[in-house]
Chain A
């Protein structure tokens, strides 16, 4: 497959792995955070830890939109489905995320009209096809998905489609990285910068991380070779005593970002004063709400939202895992009460969640190598 196989080439990958070993100093430990959930998934999916020396640790960051959404927002969203005129639409990723009253999938099984869409434009099409119904789109995601929500709203306004609204849960990546760096229990040496988000925002917004925080950051692609090359670039900076922003993913990410996308976002959204992040608490100016000019398309204004606040199950340590303080398997519920099939926390649901990625691709591998008998028990 073109543009994919080149980045999974065995010879190139083994070169990159050798370069990583050559550049890393065996006398010290490295902690690199991959900010984006897409990277977390790729690291496990491709077994990339097999190529890294023991002293390089990859810490999973907060860049999984499903994972950072507080449970109360899911309950808020699902209350809208009790109105029989509503068709509620969401990305497939959201369907199994548990709210206090069950996941969207459970509500759907009980009769709520909840449908999976692949883009907000599909939700708008659904509204056009069903003029006697009201279609709500459950918008989630970082700057990666926010532009498509914005363009859909601009289109809805241009076409005068009024039976459509958006429940916005869009968040922005920079405040989350800042919260991580400000957190006293965090020690991160360098960052693998998010790839998809950067196609929109470009590389400039990361400059303070390099300049003020003195941490190298390299914006990275998602194929095995991309990620290994990014680690090579981070190690080179550290070896040379530098900290700068570099772009490994230049074939996709323009340094200045996507101006058209940023313009559409600015027209539709404004920054909320604060927003709750799961496991990280309230972070100021970290989320996008709809501007007053789009009030008619804002589900939060059109429906009475209870504003549910639900605390996560006590034993679940999603917050610590989300911030990279704990590894997935160190959570008390991991693999016992909480599995991809019966998730307690969202990190176990999304394919980008570090718990699901770890459970699906790595967990049993590790168990099997330590003690095969225990591995069998864990599976049974």
Chain B
């Protein structure tokens, strides 16, 4: 092997804690300081949602995602929906048309067969909706108490769209930041579905395949779309911070331009959470060159699920590697990545 592997890992945390799986700072450290250097070598560069793999003349987008959500079913979806949409979305925001998935199930002994059947059906239906083939898979069963009911891993391949050239390195000061729709629905729904809070709200998860929206955006703005990401764990704040770091730019968002449902705002206000840190499963962020941003926005508005899309901010030269958020009344604050793990096992 010719990859220069570091002799010692930079990862100094003594043990793995829940925060390492929360999608925020600790997750990033785990991947950048331990996993990526040992598997990809030291010079792997910014990590994308999907890898581009060259097989002979063909270029393929390739990714995997695991799902450990609790509870298995929640308003608007279930672990089966997430398992298909999550992986399809990682391909979509990499500029690829999702093509096929393989599905791995880890089942805890004692899970009622009916519940497993419901999830298999959910996988089949979500795949049909997303237009992806389920090409194969594997099943393992572990002793009762050694897993929590059902975990699912999906791996997927997709075909890169010809007009898509997405990379943090293409992001320029002056570019606009688009958000496809209201944030925080998924995370807040899961939190309420656990029933640990005496709170009720009419809210459901936004889990869906975002490829039709991505395709409409790329058709409208083509190579002027410079970068995309689906803000799952860690939310919009974490995704934008990753972009600011990877692209060495500043980002300024207008807090009032960010679409958030009143129920989500209310629940977050009560619980002291920031909606910008809450996980989404059916939205994505895009950076678009300023002259095509309006056309891109109008195209998104025509898609199902993109009706409330908005331009939420723009890329600036300074302060580098920092995301600032400006409130309607004028106060500015630094918006950091998620730290810690306020909502474990959200997807």
Interface residues of A (CB under 8 A from B): 1, 4, 8-10, 13-14, 44-48, 50-51, 92, 95-96, 105-106, 109-110, 118, 122, 224, 340-341, 351, 360-365, 367-369, 372, 375-376, 379-380
Inter-chain contact A105/B17, CB cutoff 8 Å? yes
Q: A46-B327, A110-B15, A341-B25 are in contact. Are A122 and B196 (CB under 8 A)?
A: yes
User: Of B25, B26, B319, B342, which one neighbours A92 at CB under 8 angstroms?
Assistant: B342
**How far apart sit A44 and B330, CA to CA, in the bound complex (Å)?**
13
Inter-chain contact A364/B329, CB cutoff 8 Å? no
Nearest first, the 6 A-B pairs at minimum CB distance are A47-B331, A368-B319, A361-B333, A13-B329, A10-B329, A109-B17
User: Of A14, A45, A340, which one neighbours B330 at CB under 8 angstroms?
Assistant: A14
The interface residues of chain B lying within 8 Å CB-to-CB of A375 are 319-322
Inter-chain contact B340/A96, CB cutoff 8 Å? yes
**How far apart sit A1 and B319, CA to CA, in the bound complex (Å)?**
32
Query: A251: shortest Cβ distance to chain B, in Å?
Result: 16
Number of interface residues of B (CB under 8 A): 34
Inter-chain contact A8/B332, CB cutoff 8 Å? no
The interface residues of chain B lying within 8 Å CB-to-CB of A369 are 319
Interface residues of B (CB under 8 A from A): 15-19, 25-26, 196-197, 245, 250, 262, 265-266, 269, 272, 318-322, 324, 327-334, 336, 339-340, 342
Residue of A nearest to B317 (CB): A372
Q: Is the interface of B mostly helix, strand, loop or mixed?
A: loop
The listed residue with most B CB atoms (<10 A of its CB), out of A46, A341, A360, is: A341
Inter-chain contact B318/A372, CB cutoff 8 Å? yes
Inter-chain contact A380/B321, CB cutoff 8 Å? yes
Query: A319: shortest Cβ distance to chain B, in Å?
Result: 24
Inter-chain contact A47/B265, CB cutoff 8 Å? no
The interface residues of chain A lying within 8 Å CB-to-CB of B331 are 46-48, 50-51, 224
The listed residue with most A CB atoms (<10 A of its CB), out of B197, B318, B324, B334, is: B334
* A46-B331, A118-B196, A364-B334 given; 19 more Cβ-contact pairs under 8 Å: A1-B269, A13-B330, A14-B330, A46-B329, A46-B333, A47-B332, A51-B330, A92-B342, A109-B17, A340-B340, A341-B25, A341-B26, A360-B333, A361-B333, A365-B319, A372-B319, A375-B320, A375-B322, A379-B245
Inter-chain contact B319/A10, CB cutoff 8 Å? no
Inter-chain contact A14/B329, CB cutoff 8 Å? yes
User: Of A13, A341, A379, which one neighbours B339 at CB under 8 angstroms?
Assistant: A341
User: Can you offer 28 A-B residue contacts whose CB atoms are under 8 A?
Assistant: A8-B328, A8-B329, A10-B329, A10-B330, A13-B330, A46-B329, A47-B327, A47-B331, A47-B333, A48-B331, A50-B330, A51-B331, A106-B15, A106-B17, A109-B16, A109-B17, A340-B336, A340-B340, A341-B26, A341-B340, A360-B336, A362-B333, A364-B319, A364-B322, A369-B319, A372-B320, A375-B320, A375-B322
